[in-house]
Amino acid sequence: MTLDTTINDDVSWTPVCPYPRLEPERGVAALIDGEQVAVFRTYDGRLFAIGQQDPIAKAYVMARGIVGSRGEIPTVASPLHKQVYDLRTGDCLDVPGVAVPTYPVRLRDGLVEVAPRQRPAGDS
C-alpha cells in the first residue's frame, strides 16, 4: 500500500472510500477541492490518484479506464481513445508532452484519502 508522506497533515485530505471498497484494477471518481479525480488501487495494493479528465478527448472518463502496466510502470488506458498514462507521474506513454495531473493519495485508518494537487506558485 502506498502511504504518501510528502504532504503533511496541515493539508486538507478528503476521504474517498474505505480501502476494501476500492476494488483492485478499477477506478472511482471523486471531487477533491473542486476538481474531478480518478482514484485507483492496483493488484499489489498501491494507490494512485490522477485527473479524471482525458486530456485528448476532453471528457471526464479516466476512472473508467483500463488499468494495467507497461513493464514495471502501473498504467491506465483512456476508455475512449486508449492512450496509456503512467499512474505515478501522469505522463502519457503514447503521446509525448501530454499528461494528466497527479494527486497525493494515502491510506489512513482504513480510508483512502486524497489531497488537492500542489500547484507551483502562480499556476492556476
Q: Is residue 86 helix, strand or coil?
A: strand
Q: Which amino acid is at 65?
A: G
- Domain 14-114 class in CATH: mainly beta
The number of residues in the chain equals 124
Non-local CB neighbours of 34 within 8 Å, separated by 6+ positions: none
DSSP per residue, 44-84 = TS-EEEEESB-TTT--B-GGGSEEEEETTEEEEE-TTT--E
Q: Contact, 24 vs 42, CB < 8 A?
A: yes
Question: Is the predicted pLDDT of residue 96 greater than 50, yes or no?
Answer: yes
**Partners of 32 in the β-ladder:** 35
Query: What is the rounded distance in angstroms from the CA atom of residue 64 to the CA atom of residue 41?
Result: 13
Residue 1's pLDDT is what? 43
Quickly state the pLDDT bin for 2 (edges 50, 70, 90): very low
pLDDT of 3 > 50? The answer is: no
pTM summary value? 0.87
